[in-house]
């Protein structure tokens, strides 16, 4: 599954307000690394309840970055985590890695 983030949704929300756009991107850049690290920690600890919560938060980042496939993955993964299944972890990690790399370029 290919994941290609972009900021078209943020641009759509902000219209011509570049200050708003930059603030939104700054919030993403500030929040994402912590959430990414939290997710990794929940997997290492096999804490399904915490994983459900952080995947729920992260799926909205995918949506904001127009990563519709990754959003769908997160939705299904969140359900699987509720059934104590980390089966989609590797695929989810790929999506997180893509976001991490992308945020460093904008």
- Number of structural domains, the chain? 1
User: Domain residues for 67?
Assistant: 8-103
The residue with tokens 């641009």 is: 11
% pLDDT > 70, the chain: 97
% pLDDT > 90, the chain: 92
**Does position 38 have pLDDT exceeding 90, yes or no?**
yes
**Does position 1 have pLDDT exceeding 70, yes or no?**
no
pTM above 0.85, yes or no: yes
**Does position 20 have pLDDT exceeding 80, yes or no?**
yes
**Does position 101 have pLDDT exceeding 70, yes or no?**
yes
Whole-angstrom distance, CA of residue 6 vs CA of residue 9: 8
**Does position 95 have pLDDT exceeding 80, yes or no?**
yes
In a domain, 3, yes or no: no
> What is the structure's pLDDT at 22?
95
> At 65, which CATH number?
1.20.120
Give the mean pLDDT of 80-96.
Answer: 97
**Does position 2 have pLDDT exceeding 70, yes or no?**
no
In this structure, are residues 10 and 81 in contact, taking their beta carbons and an 8 Å threshold? no
């Amino acid at each position: 599954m290919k994941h290609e983030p972009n900021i078209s949704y943020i641009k759509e929300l902000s219209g011509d307000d570049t200050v708003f756009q930059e603030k939104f991107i700054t919030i993403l850049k500030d929040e994402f690394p912590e959430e990414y690290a939290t997710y990794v920690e929940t997997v290492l600890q096999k804490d399904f309840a915490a994983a459900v919560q952080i995947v729920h938060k992260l799926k909205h980042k995918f949506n904001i970055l127009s990563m519709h496939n990754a959003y769908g993955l997160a939705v299904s993964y969140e359900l699987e985590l509720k059934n104590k299944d980390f089966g989609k972890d590797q695929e989810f990690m790929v999506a997180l890695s893509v976001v991490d790399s992308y945020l460093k370029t904008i």
